[in-house]
Structure 1
């Protein structure tokens, strides 16, 4: 294993995921890349006619919002990487569907392992919504290391 891709989000438990993934990568002598995926920014600038008495979607979203979102995400990734205290850790900001973006970048970067947290969701949520982790597991071509996360942590 030469490359470990660690998926993190804005949830504070991502610290545990990043540290566990980083520790595993170092034991394997592998490179580390932290990835964070933001929702497709164009979603926020969708134009819809007034419906059900709500005309909030008639506005246009300032392109600076997208730029600001990228800026904050880049700062988040830089902070997360510096937390690991290793200048060789790289970062990647992706946009779009989270599972698809992780899978796509894992192929592009030639990751040998993906590390993710398993956010605790109710069985009902998993049944109807699925989870990013389950979607990645279903479609991945590389092994996935799951870091269990409970709501209490």
Structure 2
């Protein structure tokens, strides 16, 4: 295995995921890339017409500053995550779109040999209605997945 892709998000357990993924990569003498996906940035700050009797958005246009700010926050997050690993060779990639599809697409594009992810605990209702990103990845990928348990 030559390339380890580590998917992280803003949850504090991402530190544990990044550390475990980096240790795996070091043991395999593999390249490392930290990946963060902004889920459809265009929705941040979107202004909508009146709906269901709510007119709080009336007369407002799209707020592109909010979307840009979200991207800036994500870029800073990735710089800090890379700095945390204390290895200049670590690559970072920030992407936008559906989280599952974007992770799978970038993993293939980058040529990842293994994908490292955390197993966030969600409520039973969330799991029932939405599933988890890790579950969706496992259903659709041909790349081995290294899941880092993050429950306390």
Give TM-score, length-normalised by structure 1. 0.92
Deviation at 1:61, TM superposition (A): 2.5
Deviation at 1:47, TM superposition (A): 4.9
Q: Gaps spanning 5+ residues in structure 1: where? A: none
The residue number in structure 2 matching 1:26 is 26
Distance 1:99 1:120, change over 3 A: same
Alignment of 1:22-61 (within 5 A): 22-58=22-58, 59-61=60-62
Q: Gaps spanning 5+ residues in structure 2: where? A: none
CA distance in 2, matches of 1:56, 1:42: 19
Deviation at 1:72, TM superposition (A): 1.1
The residue number in structure 1 matching 2:145 is 144
SS of equivalent residue, structure 2 residue 135: helix
SS of equivalent residue, structure 2 residue 137: helix
Deviation at 1:44, TM superposition (A): 2.9
CA distance in 1, matches of 2:127, 2:115: 21
The residue number in structure 1 matching 2:110 is 109
Deviation at 1:123, TM superposition (A): 3.1
Segments of 4+ moved more than 6 angstroms: none
Give yes or no for contact 2:38–2:99 (8 Å, CA) kept in 1: yes
CA distance in 1, matches of 2:64, 2:48: 18
Distance 1:101 1:78, change over 3 A: same
Give yes or no for contact 2:8–2:18 (8 Å, CA) kept in 1: yes
* Between 8-17 and 56-65, the greater mean CA deviation after superposition: 56-65
Distance 1:47 1:64, change over 3 A: closer
The alignment's C-alpha RMSD in Å is 1.4
- 1:12 paired to 2:12: yes
CA distance in 2, matches of 1:97, 1:13: 21
Alignment of 1:126-141 (within 5 A): 126-141=127-142
CA distance in 1, matches of 2:3, 2:41: 29
